[in-house]
């Protein structure tokens, strides 16, 4: 298998804050892809289509203000192909239902912390379509992350702009959380 078919890092997208909107990233860092800072905070896919196989999320600060209820971390992969200074993004895939997302704040465990380990990633694809226990303890930790992926790879067209947006959810609806900052998404995949 050639180097171009191996799983590789397309880039990193950093979110300064995550709350009750599908927040666009604030900073992008290129890996196999490049960064387009003059048009939008995003990654450029390049001249070949790319299949996203993994979205790893890192929490740099797990302290939060009590949201008054549980919160899950939702995501949306967005792509734009139009070459304008204000790109219009379209969702390629997104997850908002509790059953597809890591539980990042379990109010019965802590009202002031995200249930994650600082700088230890979890793969958002591993939470999709998993059977959950009751009570839900599928936290954003390596120990609680399901060991298998049910999410199929997501194809992104060549020469496209790419973002991964994040938001906090409760029962499929955006729900606010305060002081959740410095969350990074690492986009991994393969070129076609």
Q: Provide the Cα torsion 165, 113, 133, 173; round to 10°.
A: -40
pLDDT tens digits for 43-99?
989 899 999 999 999 999 999 999 999 999 999 999 998 777 788 999 999 999 999
**pLDDT for residue 86:** 83
Q: What architecture does CATH give domain 8-191? A: Sandwich (2.60)
Give me the mean pLDDT over the 6-26 stretch: 94
Between CA 130 and CA 114 the distance in angstroms is 21
Give the separation between CA 169 and CA 96, rounded to whole angstroms.
Answer: 7
Domain ranges of the chain: 8-191
The model's confidence at residue 6, banded by pLDDT at 50, 70 and 90, is confident
**By the 8 A CB rule, do 57 and 165 touch?**
no
pLDDT of residue 192: 86
Task: Say if residue 1's pLDDT is above 50.
Answer: no
Q: Is residue 179 very low, low, confident or very high in pLDDT (cuts 50, 70, 90)? A: very high
The whole-angstrom separation of Cα 38 and Cα 98 is 35
**3-class state of residue 4 by DSSP:** helix
Q: How many Å apart are CA 12 and CA 105, to the nearest integer?
A: 23
What mean pLDDT, rounded, does the chain reach? 92
How far apart CA 69 and CA 9 sit, in angstroms, is: 34
> At which residue do the structure tokens 């704040």 appear?
105
CA–CA gap between residue 17 and residue 24 (Å, rounded): 10
User: Is-above-0.85 flag for pTM?
Assistant: yes
User: So what's the pLDDT on residue 5?
Assistant: 63
């Amino acid at each position: 298998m050639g180097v171009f078919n191996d799983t590789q890092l397309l880039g990193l997208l950093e979110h300064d804050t995550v709350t009750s909107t599908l927040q666009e990233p604030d900073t992008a860092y290129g890996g196999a892809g490049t960064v387009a800072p003059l048009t939008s905070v995003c990654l450029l896919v390049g001249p070949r289509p790319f299949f996203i196989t993994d979205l790893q999320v890192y929490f740099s600060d797990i302290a939060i203000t009590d949201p008054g209820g549980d919160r899950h971390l939702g995501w949306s992969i967005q792509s734009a192909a139009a070459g304008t200074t204000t790109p219009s993004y379209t969702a390629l895939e997104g997850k908002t239902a509790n059953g597809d997302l890591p539980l990042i704040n379990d109010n019965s465990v802590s009202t002031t912390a995200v249930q994650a380990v600082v700088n230890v990633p979890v793969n958002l694809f591993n939470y999709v379509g998993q059977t959950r226990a009751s009570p839900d303890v599928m936290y954003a930790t390596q120990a609680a992350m399901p060991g298998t992926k049910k999410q199929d790879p997501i194809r992104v067209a060549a020469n496209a702009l790419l973002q991964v947006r994040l938001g906090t959810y409760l029962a499929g609806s955006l729900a606010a959380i305060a002081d959740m900052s410095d969350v990074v998404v690492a986009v991994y995949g393969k070129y076609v």
